[in-house]
Structure 1
Amino acid sequence: MTAADLAKRLPGIATVRALSQSYAVLDALLSPDGYATYSFDAHWASGEELASMNDGAGDEYSIVFTRAGAFIRGFDHESPMSPYRDDGTYATWPGLVESLPREFASQIDEPAFCHDVPTGKVLAATVCLWRLHDDSAWRCGDIAYPRRSGLDDPDGSGWMFAMLADATPEAYRAYAEDYFEVSLDPAAIREVFQHRPLTADLVRRINPEAELASLEETLETVGYSPGSIR
């Protein structure tokens, strides 16, 4: 899979946003120590929200929801399309952001998305997609992907965004049961995907050791179903 394939599979902006909030809430419930893989900041910047993934091993993504639409950046540190290529150019892969609409131009210089390199700063990205609210689908640049034997996922888009492309509670459950090494109640996971009120009982069904009171600050940051926490 490449970004071009992912663009055809991703659901609309509103669904991606809701899914991202659900991932962040569930990860917070399953990792109350604060080391969640998925997070969501409903107060990222004026008029902007940020969904993010960081696997702690050098791979990450960011989805910025703006008044104009949404911008996606993914960084697979082992991808041959990484800015850290053997030629020492420290540049984004050709075509990755050249056709980015002006509405998202500021995102490629966002300090949180850039790495310091000997030549200055570079956008840490191997995947970029975007969608304006008027667009009928997600878009990406016209890219010539590297060809290597057995390389089916050259930019990391397939594994990095698989759960968003699948868009089901079952996909999250499979990830979480493997990552957190727990057995999860499918019905409880579905309730969070539906943004049902997060009650003390629902929290216990997901993680008996988590306490709703200690998560309220995180939930406010995520912006999960305002007014539904009780």
Structure 2
Amino acid sequence: MEVNVLERLPNPIILKKLMKVQASLNIILCRDEWLRYHSFVQDWDEGVCMAKIDNGAGDHLIILFSPEGSIIKGFDHESELSPYAQDEHQVLQGIYDDVPKELVSLLEDDAIEKDDVTFCIWRKSSDVNWHKGKVEIPLGVSDGSDFLIGCIFHTPEDFVEFAEGYFELSPSLEVVAKIYNDFPITEEIINILNPGCDVKEVLQELELLRLRS
């Protein structure tokens, strides 16, 4: 299953685009920022972008994109690998042990909550594959990576299915597909997806998101 998780991750350029697309759609569909499932901060730190998945139930996935590479920190609060399930409340050995220093240092910001982790995946800019920390996972136990990586929706069909369940909305597949295919987000598109929202506010948020690639 671990290899499958790594194979399901596209290269960082495509992954960043996917996370921006999903964050854009969340901005349009959900005007309450705290309820958004996918978010993206273009200028998290100097030269660093941050994407986040937060299901509101205690589980999250944070992706940091930097010139040195990309790192993914995931936390499944129900996993037996959670630090809160350990006697010493410590991060399990192996999760961060092999991560290059220039990438693991990206997690040191207090807002990242580095120690809230059940798996870590990374890829240096010179790498051709993603890597995952070597952790002894007991049979039948999950680190949450399969579940949380599965919350990155690669197709407009998958996103629409998710939105129907999470936001209880039925966004137009045709319009969502346009956003997935880099079609410029216009006032018309916003109005189709979320009639009655403040289009000017949405466009201002999207401008911040799409400042640079």
Same fold, TM-score > 0.5, yes or no: yes
Matched, 1:130 2:117: no
**2:12 paired residue number:** 13
- Structure 1 residue 11: deviation in Å? 0.6
**1:117 paired residue number:** none
Using the alignment, how far apart are the partners of 2:96 and 2:90 within structure 1? 11
Contact conserved, 2:59 with 2:77, CA < 8 A, in 1?
yes
**2:143 paired residue number:** 155
**1:100 paired residue number:** 99
Structure 1 112/190 Cα, relative in aligned 2: closer, same or farther at 3 Å? same
Using the alignment, how far apart are the partners of 1:48 and 1:180 within structure 2? 29
- Structure 1 residue 69: deviation in Å? 1.4
Using the alignment, how far apart are the partners of 2:168 and 2:31 within structure 1? 15
Using the alignment, how far apart are the partners of 2:104 and 2:212 within structure 1? 30
Matched, 1:84 2:84: yes
Residue identity in the other structure for 1:204: N
Which runs of 5 or more residues in structure 2 are unaligned? Answer: none
Normalising by the residue count of structure 1, what TM-score does the alignment of the two structures yield? 0.86
Structure 1 59/217 Cα, relative in aligned 2: closer, same or farther at 3 Å? same
Contact conserved, 1:197 with 1:225, CA < 8 A, in 2?
no
Matched, 1:69 2:69: yes
Using the alignment, how far apart are the partners of 2:136 and 2:211 within structure 1? 39
Using the alignment, how far apart are the partners of 1:206 and 1:224 within structure 2? 22
Using the alignment, how far apart are the partners of 1:109 and 1:225 within structure 2? 25
Give the secondary structure class of the aligned counterpart of 1:73.
strand
Higher relative contact order (CA 8 A, sep 6+): 1
Structure 1 128/94 Cα, relative in aligned 2: closer, same or farther at 3 Å? same
- Structure 1 residue 107: deviation in Å? 2.8
Using the alignment, how far apart are the partners of 2:127 and 2:29 within structure 1? 36
Which moves more between the two structures, 207-216 or 35-44?
A: 207-216
> Deviations for 1:194-227, whole angstroms, at most 9, x for unmatched residues?
221111111122111323201133213322678x
1:189 to 170, 176, 183: 176
Normalising by the residue count of structure 2, what TM-score does the alignment of the two structures yield? 0.92
Using the alignment, how far apart are the partners of 1:225 and 1:99 within structure 2? 31
Using the alignment, how far apart are the partners of 1:195 and 1:32 within structure 2? 22
Q: How many residues align?
A: 212
Contact conserved, 1:41 with 1:223, CA < 8 A, in 2?
no
**1:110 paired residue number:** 109
Residue identity in the other structure for 2:36: A
Which runs of 5 or more residues in structure 1 are unaligned? Answer: 115-121
- Structure 1 residue 28: deviation in Å? 1.0
> Deviations for 1:105-155, whole angstroms, at most 9, x for unmatched residues?
3134221122xxxxxxx611112101112111111122211223xx4xx01
- Structure 1 residue 86: deviation in Å? 4.1
Contact conserved, 2:53 with 2:151, CA < 8 A, in 1?
no
- Structure 1 residue 7: deviation in Å? 1.1
Structure 1 39/178 Cα, relative in aligned 2: closer, same or farther at 3 Å? same
Q: What RMSD in Å do the two structures reach over aligned CA positions?
A: 1.7
Matched, 1:220 2:212: no
